Amino acid sequence: MEDIHVAERDRARIPEKYKWDLTDIYRDDNAWTEAKHKLVSDMPRISDFKGRLSESPELLFECLELLNLVSKEYTRLACYASMKSDMDTRDTAYLAMDQEMGQIGADFSSIASFLEPEILRAGQETISDFIKRAPRLAIYRHVFDDILRKKAHTKTESEEKIIAEASLMADSPVSINNVFSNADFPFPEITLTDGKSVRLDPAAFSLHRRSAIRENRKRVFAAYLGKLNEFRRTYGAQLAAEVRKNMFFARARDYKSCLERALDAHNIPVAVYKNLIEGVRTNLETLHRYLRLRKRLLGLEELHYYDLYAPIVKDLDLNFAYDEAVELVLASLTPLGPSYLGVARRALADRWTDVYHNDGKRSGAYSNGAVYDVHPYMLLNYNGKYDDVSTLTHELGHSMHSYLTNKAQPYALSHYSIFVAEVASTFNEALLLDHMLKIETRDEVRLSLLCNFLDNARATVFRQVQFAEFELKIHETVEGGTALTGDLLNSIYEKMVREYYGHDKGFCIVDKEIQCEWAYIPHFFYNFYVYQYATSFTASAALSEKVLAGGDAGEYLNLLSAGNSDYPIELLKKVGVDMTTPQPLQATMARMNQVMDQIEQISPLPAGEGR
């Protein structure tokens, strides 16, 4: 089914129903400006509480309520500015608004920097007494516990103020990378085998690397990553600045490493991160089995990295118009009940979503659920392939998580951790695959869907953990006193990818241009973010298996409504998933091998081949 809007690049020509409606946040830019001025005038009121938080529980509660009111409005303003900028990253007016919010955010953090030191001086006994005397303070119990837990890393008021002021510079690396990668990068043009000329922006690269024609895939990878490599020094300087920023904040707060600081934000043991890498390394044979299977199914004598996105069933070009994708996704979510389904339908019908790519639009996809009093928003770059349908339900999972949390939790407890966030998205992907397998009887389509599961598992577990190991390595490199350059990043990345993909053993040939793939990954600017894709995939696999087996979805929906009411490791334990053990990863490896067994039943191995 053809989707005529996929090829459209002029935003003005895309129908309004496929573009998000940001007037739900502010009616227009003038209203945004008025709200910004009010916020700036309200912020100094916070200083009235400085030095007084231990006077009474009523005063402490009043201060926290004001802080949350200001934080909520600041977040609303920042989200509007960033989403406006993402619609066209070339528009300097919205880029300026986005950057202005960074300045205001730094001022806000500086004004409020007295809070944690004062609560630490008050101590556990005083805080507990205040909660008894003023029960309404109980909604902040977990906030207090978290502040007290991090006592060793909290500085004096003057030092906290300096650290807060340093945030003025903190977003520079990611801001520069975003503008350069999406607006100023000279995207290469290639000629496909049919003679068609294609400009390889990120959306086009994502689309054409999945071509059924091998020569096209080879050209796409060589051209796009080759062009990235030409700018490796620029990208290297951006990423090096990000790592140095992380190192500054780690040292300023007396953490042993950047990793420890990043994980401690949500009380994640460092062992969870390192054990994940070790566990995946131990299970590389499962990845290598997948690579051997992909090579055989594609009929190749030699599998290259540019073959990893190729459709397994060559003559099967599954295309889904966006409206068709919406109906498939909604049907797949039926096991989560009518209430969940009703909100999901609204999210996809009431312009919460910006669907199609346009020139200058931010690449990739995301859900922004931070506007507490409105509703979540989703950004897509829909290309009409099954991967795009999967991305739709993935981002919808995030949006539903935000929606349920914002409805169930007070603002102070609404900011759930990223560690839990990816559970909701990958859970939805599992439901979609199950639904597709139930409605499809054609062997070639079922084969394609099963292979898509393996592709997602490869990308979400093995690929993201490889990214996580790379991220750890580059931070340790700088912490050890070595400067990062584009050439060094290339060297580290190439060596690691070749180890994971069995290059020297012939499982997958990692061509030279892959050395600069790191420059394509914006998540390296998100401070040890990527490992959570893998942990969430393994956690959601266990949870979705229960629901698809007929179990009650209530426990899972309670998780989505829990917000930041507890630490993520503890929230997952409450629903039966212990991420401090190897069991979730082992279960995922077993599931991958079961799917490969199913594929081999549909498309039997030739004599002499096997596991």
Question: Tens digit of pLDDT for each residue in 152-204?
Answer: 998 888 888 888 888 878 889 998 998 899 889 999 999 999 999 999 998 89
String of b and e for 539-565 (b: at least 16 CB within 10 Å)? bbbbbbeebeeeeebeebbebbbbbbb
Q: Taking the mean position of all CA atoms in its chain, how far away is CA 16?
A: 27
Question: Which residue is associated with the tokens 């000629």?
Answer: 191
Evaluate if residue 606 carries a pLDDT over 70: no
Question: Residue 608: pLDDT above 50?
Answer: no
Residue 154 has what pLDDT?
Answer: 86
Judge whether residue 295 has pLDDT over 70. Answer: yes
Euclidean distance between CA atoms 484 and 132, whole angstroms: 52
* pLDDT the model gives residue 610: 45
Per-chain mean pLDDT for the chain:
93
Q: Is pLDDT at 605 greater than 60 in this prediction?
A: no
CA distance 576 to 583: 11
How far out from the chain centre does Cα 242 lie? Answer: 17
Across the range 319-336, mean pLDDT stands at: 96
Counting every residue written for the chain, the total comes to: 611
Instruction: Report the distance separating Cα 371 and Cα 166, nearest Å.
Output: 25
Cα–Cα distance, 55 to 49 (Å, whole number):
10
Instruction: State mean pLDDT over 402-417.
Output: 95
Distance separating alpha carbons of residues 556 and 428, to the nearest angstrom: 12
For the segment 434-489, what is each residue's pLDDT rounded down to a tens digit? Answer: 999 999 988 888 998 999 899 989 999 999 999 999 999 999 999 999 999 999 99
Contact 85, 79 (CB under 8 A): no
Q: Is 395 a catalytic residue?
A: yes
Q: Which residues are within 8 A (CB) of 109 and not within 5 positions of it... i.e. 6 or more apart?
A: 164, 165, 167
The mean pLDDT of 369-386, rounded to a whole number, is 95
DSSP per position, 555-579? HHHHHHT-TTSS-HHHHHHHTT--T
Please say whether the structural domain 186-228 has been given the CATH code 4.10.80.400.
Answer: no
The CATH fold assigned to 11-170 is Butyryl-CoA Dehydrogenase, subunit A; domain 3 (1.20.140)
Close Cβ partners of 222 (under 8 Å, ≥ 6 residues apart): 511, 513
**Distance from C-alpha of 67 to C-alpha of 43, rounded to nearest angstrom:** 9
- What phi and psi values does residue 308 have, to the nearest 5 degrees? -70, -20
Distance CA 28, CA 19 (A): 16
pLDDT in tens, 121-152: 999 999 999 999 999 999 999 999 999 999 89
pLDDT in tens, 19-35: 999 999 999 999 999 99
Structure tokens at 26: 């502010």
Q: What percent of the chain has pLDDT over 90?
A: 81
pLDDT of the residue at 27: 96
pLDDT score, position 191? 97
326 Cα distance to chain centroid = 21
For 122, the token pair is 């008050």
- As annotated, the residues of the chain forming the CATH 1.10.287.830 domain(s) are 186-228
Supply the angle between the helices 270-282 and 464-479 in degrees, to the nearest 10: 120
Q: How far is CA 118 from CA 70, 196, 259, 422, 507, in A?
A: 19, 65, 27, 34, 58
CB 203 within 8 A of CB 382: no
| Residue 491: band (very low, low, confident or very high) from pLDDT cuts 50, 70, 90 | very high
Contacts (Cβ under 8 Å, ≥6 apart) of 53: 59, 60, 63, 115, 118, 119, 122
Mean pLDDT of 554-562: 95
The catalytically annotated residue of 73, 116, 242, 395 is 395
- Helix axis angle for 29-42 and 92-111, nearest 10°, is 20
Instruction: Find the largest Cα–Cα distance for the chain.
Output: 80
CB atoms under 10 Å from CB of 597, counted, come to 10
pLDDT of 7: 66
pLDDT band at 611 (very low <50, low <70, confident <90, very high): very low
DSSP class of residue 364? Answer: S
Cα 63 to Cα 46, 50, 70, 109: the distances in Å are 7, 9, 11, 14
DSSP string, 214-268: HHHHHHHHHHHHHHHHHTHHHHHHHHHHHHHHHHHHHHHTT-SSHHHHHHHTTT-
Mean pLDDT, range 322-342, rounded to an integer: 97
What three-state secondary structure class fits 74?
Answer: helix
Does the pLDDT of residue 65 top 80, yes or no?
yes
Percent of the chain topping pLDDT 70: 98
Q: What mean pLDDT do residues 302-318 have?
A: 88
Residue type, 522: P
Roughly how many angstroms between the first and final C-alpha of the chain, as a whole number?
38
User: For residue 91, what are the contacts with CB-CB under 8 A and spacing of at least 6?
Assistant: 84, 85, 360
> Mean pLDDT over residues 26-46, rounded?
96
Instruction: With cut-offs at 50, 70 and 90, classify the pLDDT of residue 2.
Output: low
Are 492 and 498 spatial neighbours (Cβ–Cβ below 8 Å)? no
The residue among 101, 104, 115, 102 whose CA lies nearest residue 49 is 115
Given the structure tokens 């279960």, which residue do they identify?
A: 587
